[in-house]
């Protein structure tokens, strides 16, 4: 991302999650009441969807809290990837429970249709839900836009290292799309006197959730396995090393994100052969400090010294 998040658990990210948590919990209750009163399959699917979203927000908060635990002997690099793990679990839940149950309810409604009653309930609930979910979506979108800088939306999503932001954003987007589909399902069912349309709406909601879940699973898996830093950052780290008076050459660094703002860097550096072990140690410490100062997200810097002969050093310099 052009503009990285402030911290692994940036306040703005937490606010977006808390906002989505409160909205989804309230909406879930309202939707279930409406589904019971009207018999709407699409409304029941939307209620299940909101319950899954509520649980997902709680799991994201759990991941944020666990990821901030300090390093210890058991986890010398810390717990930053806890957030990636729980984001992956959230994506699986959206796919299996959210999408799966919505598909099941829609198919069952097609097989065993039942007449709808009191459509006004549905419209009132959908209107309130759209208001709450829309507010949550705008909050998540504002947070995401603040982090993505001047990148395009898709590029920022693919390169983001903070799933606590984009998971909430995509969930809220699925919420809004689902509400629109549910509204159309209820409306057309009554206008055309065809209850099958309500079941079809539930199936469409399930498909929306599955598509969103597949995108989130892909990104969460990539983060969990370890993504490298941006090419520009790697080039800056290498340039910092090559600018030091003790360095003859430096290879392109190997990098891996251990958390949204926790980067591991391994850098192979060739020092001047005439430098003593003490001077090389001082140069290593100097390089580590310079790299961390310029890039605070780099928490772990490992420099592997490579010693050249005098002839090799002259060849490198030439």
Domain ranges of the chain: 11-225, 231-317
Which CATH code for domain 11-225? Answer: 1.20.1510.10
Q: Is the whole-model pTM more than 0.95?
A: no
* 3-state SS record for the chain: CCCCCCCCCCHHHHHHHHHHHHHHHHHHHHHHHHHHHHCCHHHHHHHHHHHHHHHHHHHHHHHHHHHCCCCCCCCCCCCCCHHHHHHHHHHHHHHHHHHHHHHHHHHHHHHCCCCCCCHHHHHHHHHHHHHHHHHHHHHHHHHHHHHHCCCCHHHHHHHCCCHHHHHHHHHHHHHHHHHHHHHHHHHHHHHCCCCHHHHHHHHHHHHHHHHHHHHHHHHHHHHHHCCCCCHHHHHHHHHHHHCCCCEEEECCCEEEEEECCEEEEEEEEEECCCCCHHHHHHHHHHHHHHHHHHCCCEEEEEEEEEECCHHHHHHHHC
Q: Which fold has domain 231-317?
A: Alpha-Beta Plaits (3.30.70)
pLDDT one digit per residue (tens) for the chain, 318 residues: 334 444 444 556 788 899 889 988 988 888 888 888 777 776 777 777 778 788 889 999 999 999 989 889 999 998 999 999 999 999 999 888 888 888 988 898 888 887 766 678 878 888 998 999 899 999 999 989 888 888 888 888 988 898 988 999 998 999 899 889 989 988 998 888 888 888 899 899 999 999 999 999 999 999 999 999 999 999 999 999 999 999 999 999 999 999 988 999 999 999 988 888 899 999 999 999 999 999 999 999 999 988 665 455 455 555
């Amino acid at each position: 991302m052009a503009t990285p998040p402030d911290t692994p658990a940036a306040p703005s990210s937490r606010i977006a999650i808390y906002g989505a948590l409160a909205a989804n919990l309230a909406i879930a209750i309202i939707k279930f009441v409406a589904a019971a009163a009207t018999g709407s399959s699409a409304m029941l699917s939307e209620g299940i969807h909101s319950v899954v979203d509520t649980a997902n927000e709680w799991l994201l908060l759990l991941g944020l809290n666990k990821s901030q635990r300090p390093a210890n002997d058991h986890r010398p690099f810390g717990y930053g990837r806890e957030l990636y793990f729980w984001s992956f679990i959230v994506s699986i839940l959206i796919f299996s429970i959210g999408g799966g149950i919505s598909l099941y309810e829609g198919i069952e409604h097609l097989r065993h249709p039942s007449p709808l009653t009191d459509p006004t309930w549905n419209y009132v609930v959908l209107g309130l839900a759209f208001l709450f979910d829309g507010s949550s979506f705008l909050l998540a979108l504002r947070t995401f836009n603040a982090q993505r800088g001047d990148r395009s939306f898709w590029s920022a999503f693919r390169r983001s290292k903070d799933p606590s932001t984009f998971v909430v954003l995509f969930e809220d987007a699925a919420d809004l799309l689902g509400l629109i589909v549910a509204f159309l399902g209820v409306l057309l069912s009554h206008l055309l006197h065809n209850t099958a349309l309500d079941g079809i709406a539930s199936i469409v909601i399930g498909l929306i959730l599955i598509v969103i879940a597949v995108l989130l699973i892909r990104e969460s898996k990539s983060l969990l396995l370890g993504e490298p830093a941006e090419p520009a950052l790697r080039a800056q780290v290498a340039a910092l090393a090559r600018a030091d008076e003790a360095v003859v050459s430096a290879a392109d660094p190997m990098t891996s994100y251990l958390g949204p703002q926790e980067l591991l860097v391994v850098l192979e550096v060739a020092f001047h052969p005439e430098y003593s072990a003490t001077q090389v140690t001082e140069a290593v410490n100097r390089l580590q400090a310079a790299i961390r100062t310029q890039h605070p997200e780099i928490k772990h810097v490992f420099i592997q010294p490579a010693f050249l002969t005098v002839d090799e050093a002259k060849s490198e310099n030439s």
